[in-house]
Amino acid sequence: MEATFVVVGGGIAGVTCAETLAFLEPQEKIILISNSSLIKTVTNLHSITRTLTDFDIEETESSNLSKKYLNILVLHEILVEIDDDEHYVITSVHKIKYKFVCLCMGAEPKLIPQSSVFPQILGIRDTDSVKKFVEQLQTSKKIVIVGNGGIASELVFKVTNVEVHWVIRDKHITATFVDPGAAEFFQSMLNKTSSEEVVSKRMRYNEDDFKKSGAALGPDWYKNLIISGNKKCNSSSKIMIHYETEIIQVNSLENAEYPIEVTLSNNEKISCDLVVSATGVVPRSNFVTKHQFNKSEDGGIQVNEFMQTSVKDVYAAGDICSVNWTLAKHWFQMKLWTQARQMGCYAAKSMVGHLRNEVVLQDFCFELFAHSTKLFGYKVILLGLYNGQKLGTNYEILLRMTKGKEYIKFVLEDNKLQGAVLIGDTDLEETCENLILNQLDLSQYGDDILNPDIDIEDYFD
Ligand SMILES: Cc1cc2nc3c(=O)[nH]c(=O)nc-3n(C[C@H](O)[C@H](O)[C@H](O)COP(=O)(O)OP(=O)(O)OC[C@H]3O[C@@H](n4cnc5c(N)ncnc54)[C@H](O)[C@@H]3O)c2cc1C
């Protein structure tokens, strides 16, 4: 077989890349290789601000893509090898000659080491793993959740009828996304009496119930699921947080109420039915090449400002790659669906530019980190250097918090806004985005910038 562009991976990055290629080059042949029959497509895309977007994600049969774009052929196969000397992609079935190939195979969960021995230790990545978790939870009374990122935080908030022990390495919860102040703001939600969500105004993620797919889940993956244990209390779960600890050992228990026991680094022991390991991901590397890729410390394939890897005519996008260019001051990489979409789209533009010998200009989205998500039922918007990343100790923080309603944090350097955390329906995203991009000197406003009696949206209109 032969194609101008071969894209590998049916997740958000791969599908966005193939669709953008089909749009830009309707005459060129594109092959999308995916080891899952269902692929993820982005629908209802609209911009909230210049850099923040809102979209739905649909899981659809891969054949639908070929019906929509006549020049895309989808192969339900596994990439095994890339002969980058001769420009061939070799799958379990075909050998395909390419001009450009883009790798979008995502990442897999980094489970705690004991997971290979104990079936009670689960990771959450795709619909299959969620199905397994939901089933096992139904017979569980006590579970341990390890990890302090988005997945662990969502789970802790969402599970009901089970005793939860949350094991985190940090001094405060949800440390991947928020600082101790916001963590305290969220803490009250952990003692909720029901799992009713406070704010539901946000993007929807539509996951068809448990169809087979290898792609990572995305926001709202738990929306239509009943994630309930077997402790008949008909309410939210009892949650105990174990700060600054890790699991160091897991043992089987014989003739005991619970099948396993975990030992924490502070020597505390917890017997339980299930352990959920939500401790990050490792980029996939389940294929071979003639020349080795330059990789970053986390195992991600390094890409330059055009999403090109160190191997000629091989590009990469999404969770599988690690950026290796001089970053704009207010942007950094995080393995998120927003960035998977942006990178897939930009990799396509870049390949097309190189095919046509045209100059490629980097997308504006890499100017400002912008992420919209939901944590503990609240809408959460993170902009720029929202946690003072890259700023050392040379920054100020302005805070406004109304318990149970909103949490607004501005990060300022030399009186200029560098980043913001907006929790709740603050409607400040556009103002903050402009203030970060324009680097307006805010010294004349002082603390008034967050004065609740002043509508800063009007202020900077
Ligand atoms: C539970 C969960 C919750 C999340 N919540 C959020 C959130 O709230 N917000 C957010 O922004 N992000 C979230 N993420 C992260 C987000 O889902 C990922 O960053 C994003 O989906 C990555 O997209 P991708 O296309 O790079 O990779 P994937 O979606 O992993 O797609 C990779 C594709 O490649 C295929 N593949 C792999 N190897 C091969 C091979 N050898 N041959 C052929 N095909 C192959 C896979 O089957 C899959 O289709 C969450 C992730 C999880 C697991």
pLDDT range class, residue 89, cuts 50, 70, 90:
very high
Contact 110, 121 (CB under 8 A): no
Within a 10 A sphere around the Cβ of 392, how many other Cβ atoms? 7
Lowest mean pLDDT among 166-180, 229-243, 259-273: 229-243
Which of residues 259, 279, 299 is at a domain's end? 279
Q: Could you report the per-residue pLDDT of 120-129, keeping only the tens digit for each?
A: 999 887 767 8
pLDDT value at 278 more than 70: yes
Q: Is 68 helix (H, G, I), strand (E, B) or coil?
A: helix
Compute, in angstroms, the gap from residue 152 CA to the centroid of ligand 1. 16
pLDDT value at 315 more than 80: yes
For residue 454, being part of any structural domain is answered with: yes
DSSP state of 450: G
286 lines ligand 1 (CB under 6 A): yes
In one letter, which amino acid is 34? S
Say if residue 14 is in the same domain as residue 42.
yes
Closest ligand 1 atom to 281 CA: 53
8 lines ligand 1 (CB under 6 A): yes
Q: Is 221 helix (H, G, I), strand (E, B) or coil?
A: coil
Compute, in angstroms, the gap from residue 51 CA to the centroid of ligand 1. 21
pLDDT at 143: 94
Say if residue 199 is in the same domain as residue 302.
no
Closest ligand 1 atom to 77 CA: 43
Lowest mean pLDDT among 175-179, 339-343, 405-409: 175-179
Any residues with CB less than 8 A from the CB of 179 and at least 6 apart, and which?
172, 387, 409, 421
DSSP state of 335: -
Contact 388, 395 (CB under 8 A): yes
Say if residue 338 is in the same domain as residue 311.
yes
Say if residue 397 is in the same domain as residue 293.
no
pLDDT range class, residue 165, cuts 50, 70, 90:
very high
For residue 380, being part of any structural domain is answered with: no
* Average pLDDT, integer, range 398-414: 92
pLDDT range class, residue 211, cuts 50, 70, 90:
very low
Q: Is 56 helix (H, G, I), strand (E, B) or coil?
A: strand
Compute, in angstroms, the gap from residue 215 CA to the centroid of ligand 1. 5
Which of residues 261, 279, 297 is at a domain's end? 279
pLDDT value at 456 more than 80: no
For residue 70, being part of any structural domain is answered with: yes
pLDDT value at 200 more than 50: no
Say if residue 163 is in the same domain as residue 269.
yes
Closest ligand 1 atom to 338 CA: 11
Tokens of 109: 């969960």
Say if residue 14 is in the same domain as residue 101.
yes
The domain total for the chain is 3
In one letter, which amino acid is 442? L
Task: Give the closest residue to 302 by CA, choosing from 103, 116, 142, 113.
Answer: 103
Number of H helices, E strands in the chain: 8, 28
pLDDT value at 333 more than 80: yes
Task: Give the closest residue to 176 by CA, choosing from 427, 339, 371.
Answer: 371
pLDDT range class, residue 207, cuts 50, 70, 90:
very low
Q: Could you report the per-residue pLDDT of 97-106, keeping only the tens digit for each?
A: 999 999 999 9
437 versus 461: the higher-pLDDT residue is 437
DSSP string across 90-141: EESS-EEEEEEEEE---EEE---GGGGT-TTEEE--SHHHHHHHHHHHTT-S
150 lines ligand 1 (CB under 6 A): yes
Say if residue 8 is in the same domain as residue 93.
yes
Compute, in angstroms, the gap from residue 360 CA to the centroid of ligand 1. 27
287 lines ligand 1 (CB under 6 A): yes
- Name which residue sits closest to atom 10 of ligand 1, judged by CA: 336
Q: Could you report the per-residue pLDDT of 335-392, keeping only the tens digit for each?
A: 988 899 999 999 999 999 999 999 999 999 999 999 988 888 898 999 999 988 888 8
34 lines ligand 1 (CB under 6 A): yes
Lowest mean pLDDT among 78-82, 306-310, 360-364, 389-393: 389-393
Closest ligand 1 atom to 39 CA: 49
pLDDT range class, residue 250, cuts 50, 70, 90:
very high
pLDDT range class, residue 303, cuts 50, 70, 90:
very high
Tokens of 116: 């290979």
d(CA 407, CA 409): 7
Q: Is 163 helix (H, G, I), strand (E, B) or coil?
A: strand
Q: What percent of the chain has pLDDT over 90?
A: 59
pLDDT range class, residue 234, cuts 50, 70, 90:
low
Lowest mean pLDDT among 52-61, 163-172, 226-235, 356-365: 226-235
pLDDT range class, residue 236, cuts 50, 70, 90:
low
Q: What is the CATH number of the domain that holds 401?
A: 3.30.390
274 lines ligand 1 (CB under 6 A): no
Say if residue 38 is in the same domain as residue 135.
no
Element (H, E) at 17: helix 12-24
Say if residue 156 is in the same domain as residue 258.
yes
Residue among 336, 342, 369, 381 whose CB has most ligand 1 atoms within 8 A, to mutate: 336
The size of the chain, in residues, is 461
pLDDT range class, residue 46, cuts 50, 70, 90:
confident
Task: Give the closest residue to 409 by CA, choosing from 420, 423, 425, 418.
Answer: 420
In one letter, which amino acid is 349? K
Lowest mean pLDDT among 4-13, 149-158, 290-299: 149-158
For residue 267, being part of any structural domain is answered with: yes
- Which residues constitute the domain of residue 163? 111-279
Say if residue 75 is in the same domain as residue 125.
no
Task: Give the closest residue to 130 by CA, choosing from 109, 105, 157.
Answer: 109
Compute, in angstroms, the gap from residue 11 CA to the centroid of ligand 1. 6
Task: Give the closest residue to 231 by CA, choosing from 254, 250, 258.
Answer: 258
Average pLDDT score, the chain = 88
pLDDT at 245: 96
For 240-304, the three-class secondary structure string (H helix, E strand, C coil) is EEECCCCEEEEEECCCCCCCEEEEECCCCEEEECEEEECCCEEECCCCEECCCCCECCCCCEEEC
Residue among 20, 35, 77, 110 whose CB has most ligand 1 atoms within 8 A, to mutate: 35
Which of residues 279, 299, 319 is at a domain's end? 279
Residue among 93, 104, 337 whose CB has most ligand 1 atoms within 8 A, to mutate: 337
pLDDT at 208: 43
pLDDT at 181: 84
DSSP state of 47: E
pLDDT at 198: 42
Q: Which residues pair with 247 in a beta bridge?
A: 264
331 versus 233: the higher-pLDDT residue is 331
Task: Give the closest residue to 87 by CA, choosing from 25, 17, 2.
Answer: 2
pLDDT at 445: 84
pLDDT at 296: 96
Closest ligand 1 atom to 344 CA: 25
pLDDT range class, residue 455, cuts 50, 70, 90:
confident
pLDDT value at 144 more than 70: yes
Q: What is the CATH number of the domain that holds 292?
A: 3.50.50.60
318 versus 449: the higher-pLDDT residue is 318
For residue 438, being part of any structural domain is answered with: yes
For residue 372, being part of any structural domain is answered with: no
Any residues with CB less than 8 A from the CB of 322 and at least 6 apart, and which?
283, 295, 296, 298, 300, 301, 302, 303, 333
Closest ligand 1 atom to 15 CA: 25
Tokens of 408: 């607004």
For residue 13, being part of any structural domain is answered with: yes
The alpha carbons of the chain give a radius of gyration, in whole angstroms, of 23
* Average pLDDT, integer, range 68-92: 96
Contact 247, 93 (CB under 8 A): no
pLDDT value at 202 more than 50: no
Compute, in angstroms, the gap from residue 284 CA to the centroid of ligand 1. 10
For residue 379, being part of any structural domain is answered with: no
Q: How remote is the C-alpha of 314 from its chain's centroid?
A: 24
104 lines ligand 1 (CB under 6 A): yes
Contact 370, 433 (CB under 8 A): yes
Contact 32, 19 (CB under 8 A): no
42 lines ligand 1 (CB under 6 A): no
90 lines ligand 1 (CB under 6 A): no
Say if residue 147 is in the same domain as residue 218.
yes
Task: Give the closest residue to 426 by CA, choosing from 408, 445, 444, 440.
Answer: 408
Residue among 31, 102, 217, 376 whose CB has most ligand 1 atoms within 8 A, to mutate: 217
Say if residue 300 is in the same domain as residue 183.
no
122 lines ligand 1 (CB under 6 A): no
> Could you tell me the CA-to-CA distances from 435 to 47, 89, 119, 368, 440 in Å, in that order?
18, 46, 50, 11, 6
